[in-house]
């Protein structure tokens, strides 16, 4: 969980982490407000 202020200040970092598969719950005044996650789950690429 992260506060809205922190989220706004570091939006790019959180967007990159969400695209990599992490999920974040953004709060506003201590209450859940929005959830950030990847639009599509990424598949692991076998080498």
Q: How many whole angstroms from its chain centre is CA 31?
A: 16
> Residue 45: inside a domain, yes or no?
no
Can you give the residue range of the structural domain that contains 30? 2-36
d(CA 3, CA 27): 5
In a domain, 47, yes or no: no
Q: Is residue 14 domain-resident?
A: yes
Using alpha carbons, select from 40, 45, 44, 5 the residue that is nearest to residue 14. Answer: 5
Helix (H) or strand (E) holding 17: helix 11-19
Residue 26 lies in a domain: yes
DSSP per position, 24-47: EEEEETTEEEEEE--SSPPPPPP-
Residue 17 lies in a domain: yes
- Tell me: the pLDDT tens digits for 13-44? 999 999 888 999 999 999 999 999 988 766 66
| Residue 46 pLDDT > 70 | no
Tokens standing for 36? 């950030």
Domains held by the chain: number = 1
**For the whole model, what pTM was predicted?**
0.75
């Amino acid at each position: 969980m992260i506060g809205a202020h922190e989220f706004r200040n570091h939006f790019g970092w959180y967007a990159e982490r969400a695209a990599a598969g992490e999920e974040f719950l953004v709060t506003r005044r201590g209450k859940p407000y929005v959830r950030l996650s990847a639009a599509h789950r990424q598949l692991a690429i076998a080498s």
